[in-house]
Structure 1
Amino acid sequence: MTDLRLDDDGGEVVGSPTLRATMRTRNGEAWVAGPDPLDAPLGGGDGERFAALLAALVERAESSGATAVHWESDGDEDQVEAVAARVDLVERRDILRLERPLPLPADPTTPTLPVRALRPGTADEAAWVATNNRAFAGHPDQGHETLASLHRAMAEPWFDATGFLLLDGDPPVDAGGRLDGFCWTKVHPASADGPAAGEIYVIGVDPDAGGRGLGRALVRAGLDHLAGRGLGHALLYVDADNEPARRLYDRLGFTTARTRRVRSRTGLSPR
């Protein structure tokens, strides 16, 4: 295909419009995002052209040792399904983007937790990896963190340890214990697309600490932290089929802004 161009972090099909995709690797799995321009329509010939680009990126990922390929798009569901079928990305997962204004109204029924910020370079890091992987055991993406993957995230320009809130267990981490939970937040600067916003990036509760209402209290702690930084808008992402989490976020006043569609092929045999 003469109008297909690949580069180190993705590729594009040249034409009208030119459609671009980016690709990154996380925990041995490849993630493709696009098309760019955001939400470019993929009907008719454009869908066929983008499918060719996806096929080339899937082949590259497999040859480089990836065990799975995931394609993320905010596009129209029917068009995404048609393109994914052409490339045999048949496993389906929908992720909702939820939003609400800040600050939260006061809620005396939710306890204020003694959260603290993550201390880089300390036992906090290993404690977070252990608690995260216990909290997300079986999750297709979040449950396979390592110290190396955490350090890569901490090296990102957006990372701020003061917004990575930890809740010690009994005994606490400094006494050889582990975390009961955490709420990792992220700030998105203002851009042409909208004002600055705060994100609940990851929130988790250790299974042994479940049943105490910690999830709701940790989300509130994260949102209060973001509001304290002067942010007036919050967002988060949640799997569409995660009914308990969706009920929690509904009660906190979040509403669905859009749907991110993830279409995957797992169980690849690296070449």
Structure 2
Amino acid sequence: MAHGDFAEYGSLRESGDRVARTLGALERERATGLLRLGDDGALHLDGGAVTRAESRHAPGPGDLTGALGGPDPELPALLALFDAAYFLLGSGAEPVFTDGPTARGPVRRITAATLVHERRRRRTLLHSAWPYDDVDAAPVEPVRRVRRQRVILTGLQAEILLNADGRRTPGELARDLGRTAFACLLAVRGLAAAALLRTRPHDPAHDPPHGLAAGPPAPPPGLPPEAEPPAGWAPADHDLLARLRAALVELG
């Protein structure tokens, strides 16, 4: 199908930008079908809205149930959708859309702008915690000796240290612990900043001093926080984003 001219969304320049632009085009066309990103996963669309997302890098809703334990039955599906969309929007694979019916169910309809806004926020959080992404896909290996006399950990960080075996990556630990992949990525970056994990050597001139983030680093390239979607894009659902962020804080 023809997607027309892709409107630029803010100052997006990374390799996965074409995924966001494709989503925006499909939203304008109210397309229904499957947007596949090679082996990375797929986004399900119904009338242009995203209703489901699966990524090989993120746990599914069933994997998260044990970590939630709350009264909101929609929350596992929402967390899993945004978790998967974070990775899919950054995929370098060529987007391939196939028209056709998608899985139906009590799933929230998510606009492309909502997913892009949340991904930009998450990238900034990760970058602020520890500006090196090599720990995201590496096995989590705690250091044998802690050089600091006092370390304050979140519950998830403590859980990761107790379960890290030097073989499983943050994503694999997320599945085993019933946590979102993003929450584990953020916790692992914090552990790296606290010098509690073995990390690849970096340029000392750019390393955060004494295991702490060195001031507010410049955000990674991406959507400016207050950027408006281009003409034809549905606006971001800020109420949904606030609800999602509150759930992530509670789970972290």
TM-score of the pair, normalised by structure 1: 0.26
Instruction: Kindly indicate which of the two structures has a greater share of residues assigned to helix.
Output: 2
* Structure in which a larger fraction of residues adopt strand: 1
TM-score normalised by length of structure 2: 0.27
Which of 1 and 2 has greater Rg? Answer: 1
